[in-house]
Structure 1
Amino acid sequence: MSGPLLTTKFFIPQPKAETLVRPRVSDLLDQGTQAKLTLVSAQAGFGKTTALATWVHQRSEPGLVAWLSLDAADTHPGTFWTYVVTALSAANPELSTNVLPLLESSTSPTQAALTELLNGLAELEHPVVLVLDDYHLVDSSDIAEGVAFLLAHLPPHVHLVIGTRIDPSLPLSRLRVRGELVEIRAADLRFTDVEAASYLHHAGVHLDPAEAAILERRTEGWAAALQLAVLSLQNRADVSDFLADFAGDDRFIVDYLVEEVLSRQPQEVREFLLRTSILERLSGPLCDAVTDSTGGADTLERLERENLFVVPLDARRQWYRYHHLFADVLRAHASADPTGPRLATLHERASAWYHADGQPVAAVGHALAAGDHFRAAALMETAIPDLLRDRQEATIVGWVDAVPRDVVRARPVLAIGFVAGLMSVSHVSSIPQRLDELEAVLAGLDPASPADAGLVVEDPDALRQVPGKVQLYRAAYALLTEDLEGTQRHVAQATSTAAADDHPTRAGAWGLSGLAHWRAGNIEETHHCYSRCVEELLKAGHLSDVLGCTTTLADIRIAQGRLSDAERALHGGLALTSSAVPAPRGTADMHTGLAQVALERGLFDAAEEHVRHAQQLGEAAGMPQHAAQVRVTMALVRAARGDVDEALSLLEEAERVYVPDFKPDVHPVHATRARLLIAQRRLEEARAWADDHRLQPSDTLTYVREYEHITLAMLLLAGNRSPTATGLAQTRSFLTRLHDAIQAGGRFGALLEVTMLQACAALAGGDHHDAADHLRLALRLSAPERFVRPFTDHAADLPRLVALLTPEEQRTPWVRTLCAACSSGRSATAPTQTKASRQSLVDPLSERELEVLRLLATDLSGPELARHLVVSLNTVRTHTRNVYSKLGVNGRRAAVTRARELDLLSRHED
């Protein structure tokens, strides 16, 4: 959600001067900050919001309170988390910069965004309280899943408070058992006899003890009933008669008391209350428009002064809302009032005001409430392009069932907008039928005169784009259903139908064609299609999408063994961003791609530098999959340096934040993790991986699973390293099948990897002639582009393999370069150990911990330490805790002091 936010939702309600201070309730809320979650759960009218607001304003503890007043418009996870992140950005402004683009880049909030949010919160050095008021209005499985994840990983100094009418769909039982939940319920919020008497006294209502007892007993300490009773009792002579009639359950009490309050208001105030009750939020100009009068701002200020259940939503008193319970009853009275204007008329006025004010979503909502589907459809049609651009597809989907199908059929531009929204959130079951209906409407249509066919169009240019978009979404649906031939057929129709200047549609068609070729393993065709897609995207000015496609183009060139072409493509992408501030989404992916190229060439320092650049830009400067990919790249850097434990930890994070999309996952994170396990001889764990993913040497070979099958070959070879091993022949046969399939597909990067495995397998089987031939082929494949990694991955075998070559071959510069790289570089199979002779510690610090300790003596912050070390912030924290534990200290300053005492800050050890 990148559209405008209602800033009034972040306003902490200001308690009125006459609000009764209830230390008992505030003490309960104070106790809650020692747990992860405070749940304030009670039905309407029990004073949840007032209690929370009073507590917030009375808090003496340092730190920030982020407040968010939720409403029914926040039910989409993307909208909900956008508001949450924005509220918390007061504590750390970088949260908006780093997290919001991650939310906007997918159709639902992802663990990638929540992980980045948690990392940002963990960096804070002061307490933070997040209050979510009226949570019941947004409670759903999608939102609850994210909130549960947030709760499970909250840093200890961050506390969540939820105010709700019903218990949320969260693991409350688990939180109770762990002592991580404090519950405040209706029984806790009810006014005690003493509190009720004090409230009545401060409100100027003087009852004798018997009358006070009647009121306290009838209201049962219910805050809303007490407040309404006070309004009714003020300046009343017949107190006894009023109390005698005052009975019934909660709802009847409210109905009765609101009627009493309304009957005591001047006619103009009563009419104002009833007519404006249709509004979720109130401002002077909006109320004037709805009531068809003037003086709305003055009336709102008067209502607030008179405590008529009006809640200010900003410090300037420009926006208000009614107390929810009061508004409910007002609406019921308004709908039954025969003397007032029709509710539809009031909603029509509100819709017109919101439309003129540039708030299309609210304008549509009131048009629908008015029952004016034609106006609502017109407003939707003009709003959808901006909503799609701002990734608010869920809003569009919420409209789909609100407009009768016959109205949609008469509006082809609206109909294709609905299809776009449904496709974006993967609600695809109805898409074929909708596209069939659209094509039937468009058949024989003259775009110059749609009205002749009974059609309604707000923008004629948009109508001309509909036929191409129909074919585009047919292609997308075919791809989703694995109909690759159908995808290409509809792509061809889309490109031939779309106008020459309809660059987004043409770009989408080329991209879908590329994806279909990619799934089939035709990567040169994929490269061609994505190149055409980039051309159209550049004409459309969609820079971030250009960078996303550039990442794919580079990946393809790496797969083809063309590292220089990949490097040029990535540098070209960076050149497009050189003058853009802030860095467009996708910029960080360019650096991650360059780091991958450097890793293939064994240039570890260059790879680390590019990863640092990517980290400095932040995950917000990356496409949806960047969060996972940058962690994979960091892991490969750490593994190349010998830090396998860190690498595995990073890969676990990468799996957690991975965001699937249309692109085939040709390098799954779990397979990369299996490769590190194999290198560490943790073969049982690697075999469990192969079993979990149902990998067998007899599998049909496909490009999509090629990386996994090569990993399986590594595992089989690792378990069959002797000539007598029964599985070695099977392994070599499997490698031959892989070699032939990969060579036929022109994927020479993978071919080099398999050729080296064949050389090692032949060596293990004593077939020295075959081993030498495979090595020679690997050398020929690697030399032009300077591939080093496939050789350093087999550093232990390379000297024996090279010995099989002729003396002349052994002396070639490239062979000597590879041998030097294998002898000097660290490998995942032989992690380095730190000398401990000088440490004088029972449990010596590892080399990595010593490096962290030296950096702790600098002024670098936690995130800066992570960037310098090319690890995640969580990994830095783990190392820091280990350093503190081994040194016997509990803080950074103490660790540095102790390190100086032990002379551990020198960069070199004897």
Structure 2
Amino acid sequence: MQTALSPGTPALRTRSRRLLVRQGLLERLDGPASRRCVVLRAPAGFGKSSLLLTWQRELVAADAGIAWLRLAELAESDLHFMTGLMSALAAIDSAIPRKAMAHAVPDALAMERMVIALVRGIAAHGRRVVLIVDDVHRAQSGLVLHALQLLVEYAPANLLCVFASQDELPMTLAHAPASKTVLELRHDDLRFSLQESIDYLGARLPRLDERAAAALHRLTEGWPALLRLASADVRRRRGVQSPLVHGVADPAPFAAYFEAHVFPRLSETQLRLLTFCAAATRFSAPLCADLAGEGFTPAACAGLLEPLVHEGLLSLVTETSETVAHERWWHMHPLLRSVLLARFETWPESRRLRVHATACQAFAIRGMHHQAVRHALAASNPETAGRLAERGAELLFSRGRMGEVIALVRQIDPGMLGDNANLALWIAWVELADYRLDDCTRSIGRLRGRPGALEPAMRYRLTLLDCLLAIRNDDNDALSRLLPELLAPPPAADEFALAGRRNVLTWLHLHRGEFDEARRIQRDQPAPRIDGEPVAGTLFGSLVGQCLVGLSYAVEGHMHRAERIYRQVLAEAQERGARCTEAARLTAQLLVEVLYEQQGPLAAARFMQEQLGTHDGLIPDTTLRMMIVANRARQAAGRWHEALEHLAQAGGFMRRFGMDRALACVLLEQQGIQLATGDVDAARESLREMEALHARHPGVGPGTLRRIADIVERARIRMAMHDGELPAALEKIERLSHHYQERGQVGLVASLQMLAAEVEHRLGRAEASRTRVCAALRLGHRLGLMQTLLSAHGNALPLILSAAAIPNLDPVLGFFIERIESLARSQPDARAEPPPVPRLRDDQRLTRLLTLREAEIAELLLQSLPNKKIALTLGLSLDTVKWHLKNIYLKLDAHGRSAVARRMRQELERDDGGRAS
């Protein structure tokens, strides 16, 4: 018997249409042979028909008969339904409906007789039959619904009924146990996953990168029809990027879809409530009642809004610090919200301001500080916003929720501070978090110039901020000057500030070379607790403290010990979840150095690219280590020119932020490449620049800046070796090794021993050279250093291999040599592919001149968005957007919106050109 499709089957009309094969859903649809019914229940646009079309291809290939009946294409009568059903089945086998035709009389008894005749005909047919009934929500007749119910109840073993509907199925399926014979897929099942969205967009927009595809996925929340409209909007904008690829919820491409397919399914009251609620990024039934005003109760609002969760229009918000536990909170689909916000903007201004003022009060009562401040600003009430931000920051800081403090205060314009010193302090914390270190320095200076402006507890927080600024600036000496203040907290100091002191002291002792003292602080001082709960995940928490303990071992060179601690911290941070993301990220950054030693620079750089994205570290140590690893990946791939360009960019970054110790390390790395490529004059110039850096810091005590002298000495050793001044080089190596040994930095001693071995080799002292190599190998094995030994100089591997020929060599050392050789041999294999290129914060970008909010607005100007739409997108008042624009024009020396957009576009083109080259 041939397999056939009924006339009007969608597959006949869309044979050439490219459909995304959703393998996971297809596997669920194929299911067990005992299944009798599949229900696809989702609003329009969730891809029900597309999924059935792709499944149909597999069913046809498996020799199943497909009968497809679309109720939307039939006149609303029982007779038309029966005729259509029999016609669809007759297309598979004309014998199936033959006996049923005698019962085509529209009454309940005749309908049951017809169904019985059909199921007997299907059973007699023998082969598998799949009956697809689309648009079941159109079925209004009780007889039609009765017939569909009976088809499922009476289905023979070879019949599968598939029902697609936009609404709840108007049938009970009561006699079919859902766990065994019925599969139901709802809108959440039918959403595209992130990978499916990327695949779908990749087929339609081949030039779209994954970052932009992910932004479109987040905006559409995987709603297939909206994803299709988004891709069409991106494709039609010739020469101008759609704001959608930047995650901006532009309503224009979607308004018609919602007007045609979503809003008609809502009652007028539901639509009105949603428009009120669109003003808020999240809402509950009581908040909705507050916004809607008199005549609405929380219970009534809940009854109207709760069903919309099943429509995919609302999603439940999991409990966070920005919700209230005893209320059920929702957020709106971002594109639906953007369309409704456009409606909201057409309301009279007085009405909109009243809604925002009500929302501000409602969120403030609930302790939802971020939302309250946002609505105060939208209500054109900056004084209230400042007061709420100050109060919220105080509460959040004392509870250890520093990330939320930053997000809260970022909303406040510095121009509205006035004489509010407390708010000025919180703004300074934001400046530090945004890496606007110059602004932060000026803010701290202004606050220190007003001795009585801050209460003792706030002033201690200022001291703590000053310490963190010194850490970010890699200025251990400035931190030492702050030490007396840090060690004398006032009685009113809060627990979170004291927790911060613990980690700051650890960092200080670590960089003074007082490693045991750094570890003792974390071991012996009580772990920080707030309200009885441990402070774990923030930069002031115990997990970051343990990371610093691991770093103390890494600075010494004990990579085995450092790795054990990093792995333990990472496991605990991941187990604790979102509250520990800072600790997890810092640990991953520190693990880069471990991977470098064990697997080489290319593997470590690939980890950075895949797991971290950039080498902007949370502390200077991680920034420096990741930058060097990324650079050595280029060197390992033989890309010397790229490596030098990368170092030049990194050097600009270090100079911009006054990180002299890190800059000296960059120059040392640069000198090594210059000598390796034969550019001796450039290498001498790099040495002179290092010596000038050293001269800027004469007589410094132990700390980060003291290491500049050591770096200069290593550069001089390199130049002496290049110039053939071998005895002088050996003398310098011995002296510097002694200093490192005294300070406990034995990892660097291993590297210097390899340099000494090369000098001995050039002097013709083979035995002395092998002795030096063995000493370096013993130290490297004990500490967990392999790549450090290989990278000591260009001839390191042959010297290491020569040690393998020593008679009666310790088998442990022999095996260690084999491991190093294997690591070295793996490097050339990777040269066929370009090394990963992590990004560094570029100090030449225009946006470095702007605050975070100003940069967001400047980027939106690229999309030619009007001020009102920018305000809508960022949740700001129109006046606030105008205030920021004035600052942008001043800082960029641009006269008007088009000038800003032109400069931003030129910068993007320059960046794209740099990447392309």
Alignment TM class, shorter chain as reference: 0.3 to 0.5
What TM-score, normalized by structure 2, do the two folds share?
0.47
